[in-house]
Amino acid sequence: MDVGRVLPSGFPMTTCNHCGGDFTAADLVRHEYETMIIVHCPDCGCVLGQYNRHGGPPKTDRQQ
């Protein structure tokens, strides 16, 4: 994940290494599980990051 580009507001942009698209954090697709968060590109679906969760399930969790 490349965060070399910066928006005028000062927030870094993420560049997908697969398709080359530039995205803000709000554009990225997140899948939140009980123990893990997976973030991927909204255009090509390439996984950009995988992170361990610390704490309970998200309050927006709609999984049953």
pLDDT for the residue numbered 44:
94
Q: Give me the sign of the Cα torsion angle 36, 24, 26, 42.
A: negative
Q: Which domain holds residue 42?
A: 27-54
The amino acid sitting at 24 is T
Q: Is residue 14 part of a domain?
A: no
44: which 2 tokens? 């090509």
pLDDT in single tens digits along all 64 residues of the chain: 444 555 555 566 788 999 989 888 888 999 988 889 999 999 999 999 998 887 665 666 565 5
Q: Is residue 42 part of a domain?
A: yes
pLDDT for the residue numbered 38:
92
Q: Is residue 33 part of a domain?
A: yes
Q: Is residue 5 part of a domain?
A: no
The answer to whether the CB of 15 falls within 8 A of the CB of 8 is no
pLDDT for the residue numbered 25:
85
3-class state of residue 48 by DSSP:
strand
Q: Which pTM does this prediction carry?
A: 0.61
Count of domains forming the chain? 1
